[in-house]
Structure formats: C-alpha cells, structure tokens
Amino acid sequence: MPGGHRLLRLGPDRPLGRPDALHPAALRAARRPHAARRLGRRRGAPDVSAIRPGAALAVWLRIGCTSFGGPVAQIDLLHREVVERRGWLDERSFLHALRLCNALPGPEAQQLACWLGWRVGGLRGALTAGGLFILPGLVLILALAWLYASLGETAWMTGAVRALGGAVIALVLAAGLRMGRRVVRTRWVLALGVGAGAAMLLGAPFPVVVVAGAALGVLLGRVRPAALVPLEDQVDPGAPLDPAERRRVVRRALVGGALWLGGLGALLLVGGVIAELAGLFTVAALVTFGGAYAVLPFVAAAAVDRFGWLTPEQMVAGLALGETTPGPLILVNAFVGFMAGWAALGGAAGGIAGGLVATAATFAPSFLLIGVGAPLVERVPQRGPVADALAALQGVVAGAIAVLAVFLVGTALLPTGSIDLLAAAVAVAVFALRHLGLPVPALLAATALIGALVGVLDPGLLLVAR
C-alpha cells in the first residue's frame, strides 16, 4: 500500500482512511484494542443502559480535570477512560466519532466528549460530558485572567510573559508541523494552504478564506476527483436515516437552533462589549476548522486591532495561560472576554461577565452540532463534494497556523525596537524538550518561573535593541 500505511478496518467492507489512521490518538487507539476486547469477553457487549448516571458523572468530571496537553492527548485520554478502562464503547464507534468531530467546526476533543456522553446518556449525557470537559479549565482561566489583570505590569509578571511568549511560539510550531504532516497529503492541499496563508497575511478575513477554500475544494474535486482525497481514502456513507430518526433529528435541530438564535439575539440586543463579544466568538466558532490554532489569528486581529480589548503582548499571555489549563485550548477566548469586560465594564464582575459570554458564544454551536448530528456519525460521506470541501479546509487550517506563527514571532521575539533573546532561547528549548515528550503544563510552569526570576533580577536582560 502506498506510503506503507495500513488501513484501519471498521468492518468487512468499511475501511477507515489514512487521515484518521494518521491521527496520533487514533493510532494509539488502534494499537490497543486488546484492553477493550478483554473487557468485552468479561462483561459481554457494552450495555450503556446499565451505566449509573453518578458513575458517568464522575468519569466526565475526572476527564475534565485532567485533560491537559491539547487535543491529541485529550482524545487519547477519552479513549483510555471510555473504551479501554470501562468498555462503554467499541473501537469502531470511537473512530467513527473521531472522524466526524475532526470534520466539524469547533474543538474536536470537546465535541468527541460530548458525543461520548450522548452515547452513554442521551442528550442529558451529552450536555454533562461536554460541559464538564469545559468547566474546570474555564474556572482556572478566569482565575488566572483575574490574577493577570490585577497584578498589571509588575517586573516579575512582565518577565514571565516574555518567557511564556517564547514557549507559545515553540508549541504552535510543533502543532503546525504535526498537523501539516497529517493533513497536507497532496500537492493541491499544500497549494491551498499556501494560498490561504498568503491571503490572510494580505488582510483577507479568515471567514472569507474558509468559504473560498471550501468552494475551491468542491470545484477542484469535480475536475480532479483524487486531487484532494486520495482514492484509497474515499468511502461511501452508511445507510440513510429511517423516517422516525429523521423526524427526531429535524425536531432537535429546530428546537436547538431556536434556543441558540434566541440566546444570541438577546446578547446582541444588550449592545456594547457584550454584543461585540457574542458576535465575534459566534463567527469564530463557526469557522474553527482544525482547532484553536487555526482561528486564533482571526480572534487576535479582532481583539487587538479592531476592538482594542488587548495589547499583542496580552494576547500572547492569554494563549500561554490557555496552554497551562485543562480543557480545550480555545478557552483562550474566555481570557479575551475577561480582559474586554474588565476594561469596558469595570473590575472582576465585568471581566467574569465578558468571559462567560465569550465562552457561551464559542461552545454553543458545538453543543448544537453534536446534539443534532450525533445519530449521523456513521453516515458522513468520504467521497464527493463534502469530502473535497473538508480536505480543502484542512489546507486552509495549515495556512492559518503558519499565519499565527508569524504573528507570535512578530509580537514575542521582535517587540518594538528590540529583539527578545530570552523569548528566543525559551522557544528553542521548549521546542526541543516538547519533542522529547515532556508535558506542556510542566514546561510552561518552568518557563514562567525562569521568566519571573529574570524580570525580578533585570527586566531588560537579554533584550537587545535593533
């Protein structure tokens, strides 16, 4: 087989293509089926009706409190807890869900947790699992944002932020390289990524780039069917929904959509910074293909340049704080909302209000998509216009991450009139240590400590004038 990759088999005639097989968490999941098989032999087929709500609640809370390390580590954690340790789900269903969540806008690990909750406990389980995946990290990031806003420009805080800026550059570069190897699998996807990155650097809005990329993918797929999705990865969808299931999905979509649009409309009617936060993060949520790194250039441009809620340095600090907390990295939006509310509404109460609005706007579409689309997991086509559009969006995501790296380098390594050698040294060290497998929270804690010491000893140390 080309490239030496083995297809993961989901059934006698249903191969799972290499995009999922190349996902590190999916590879680990595929290599550890023995644990789930042992559970199956001991307990029989998974019977989710026998799972007590209290037991499920404890599992979702534990996952939410320990989900450090970004989406790859979080997906692996979900697999260990749900498939291997408890046998609540089989490998085939887990990988089907992973493929769907990778295709949807929004944080894939949180959406996967939400879908797993739906499988275990229906709609209530989805809300519980998805909510608890977010809640611990949200509480922590709001507390850290309050601490950051309260302390202001102290010497040790300035030094810590300088060092953390270098660490974030290293983490973004590592994530970009990892994603590039996984999604850029044809020269056409690479070309779309380069074009998307160039367009964003020239000022094109990210939502426009997303729509244009998807449209180009559909057109290219009609001319060259294997240009974006290799033939060996093209799989037909599963059987269509029966009439009763279809009616339930439509009813759920109408009710959920009405609740979402009603809540969004109420926030927009409030006006001021609340309406601005709700509008910005709703748009960001709908174009977050590929995770937080892809949409952060769009968020940073709006928060820093358009609305003036944060300085570039504060945006980098928020990203660093987001890396240190459990849960989705896109919780950095809560930091942005807190800082906007702190400045516009005044104090901690305003900051918390802004952070909660940003969080609600960010995650509401994800809950709606999973709540409506959970029964459709095995019916997502992997050939034709839908597959071509999704493959093109993967190229757009790669280009967006490159743009984020450019923004971070300009902000953290090249502050106004100087070169920050401390941030540069930290970036090199963290990149090397992360490659060795050291956990992200430990790296960032050590980085912040070193930066704080430098700030106390000499705030201008390793800051060279250009």
pLDDT of 460 reads: 76
Query: In whole angstroms, what is the distance from residue 250 CA to residue 263 CA?
Result: 20
Here the tokens at position 243 are 């009439």
- Residue 403 has a CB neighbour count (10 Å cut-off) of 24
Query: In whole angstroms, what is the distance from residue 86 CA to residue 68 CA?
Result: 21
DSSP for 158-186 reads HHHHHHHHHHHHHHHHHHHHHHHHHH--S
Condensed to tens digits (0 to 9), the pLDDT of residues 408-420 reads 888 878 876 688 8
Query: Looking at the chain, how many residues does it have?
Result: 466
- CB-CB contact of 418 with 466 (8 Å): yes
Residue 455 has pLDDT above 70, yes or no: yes
pLDDT confidence of 240, banded at 50, 70, 90?
A: low
Here the tokens at position 196 are 């998307």
Percent of residues in the chain assigned helix, strand, coil, to nearest 5? 80, 0, 20
pLDDT of 12 reads: 34
Query: In whole angstroms, what is the distance from residue 271 CA to residue 274 CA?
Result: 6
pLDDT confidence of 236, banded at 50, 70, 90?
A: low
Query: In whole angstroms, what is the distance from residue 101 CA to residue 90 CA?
Result: 17
Query: In whole angstroms, what is the distance from residue 333 CA to residue 318 CA?
Result: 8
- CB-CB contact of 395 with 184 (8 Å): yes
User: 21 Cβ partners below 8 Å, 6+ apart?
Assistant: 5, 6, 7, 8, 27, 30
Query: In whole angstroms, what is the distance from residue 128 CA to residue 60 CA?
Result: 8
Here the tokens at position 333 are 């939006």
* Domain boundaries, given as residue ranges, for the chain: 2-132, 133-465
Amino acid of residue 460: G
Condensed to tens digits (0 to 9), the pLDDT of residues 19-46 reads 444 444 444 544 444 444 443 433 444 5
- CB-CB contact of 358 with 322 (8 Å): no
pLDDT of 121 reads: 86
